[in-house]
């Protein structure tokens, strides 16, 4: 995977807090949130789910989004996604 923990230069256009949502609910909420963004915009995602580290990058690859970074932050709970053209 090409994830990185360096998010210092990433400026998100929007943020979403998914708390402890698990796989199915997390992905549905993420999909709905990204629909509100334009292609190329960046979403900062907060997730406490232990599966998010694998689920979010995999979902991005399947949907044509760019997984920029994660897990990031003091508690490794932030992820950065750049919206692609395939939603």
- In this prediction, residue 42 carries a pLDDT of 97
Domain ranges of the chain: 14-82
The C-alpha torsion from 17 through 59 and 61 to 48, rounded to 10°, is 40
CATH superfamily, with its number, for domain 14-82: TusA-like domain (3.30.110.40)
- In this prediction, residue 19 carries a pLDDT of 93
Q: Rounded distance, CA 18 to CA 11, Å?
A: 19
Digit-by-digit pLDDT tens for the chain (87 residues) are 344 455 668 999 999 999 998 878 999 999 999 999 999 999 999 999 999 999 999 999 999 999 999 999 888 999 999 999 764
- In this prediction, residue 86 carries a pLDDT of 62
């Amino acid at each position: 995977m090409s994830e990185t923990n360096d998010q210092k230069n990433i400026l998100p256009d929007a943020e979403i807090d998914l708390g402890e949502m698990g796989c199915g609910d997390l992905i549905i909420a993420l999909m709905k949130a990204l629909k509100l963004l334009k292609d190329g915009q960046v979403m900062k995602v907060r997730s406490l789910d232990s599966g998010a580290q694998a689920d979010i990058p995999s979902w991005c690859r399947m949907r044509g989004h760019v997984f920029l970074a994660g897990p990031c932050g003091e508690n490794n709970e932030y992820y950065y996604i750049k919206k692609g053209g395939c939603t």
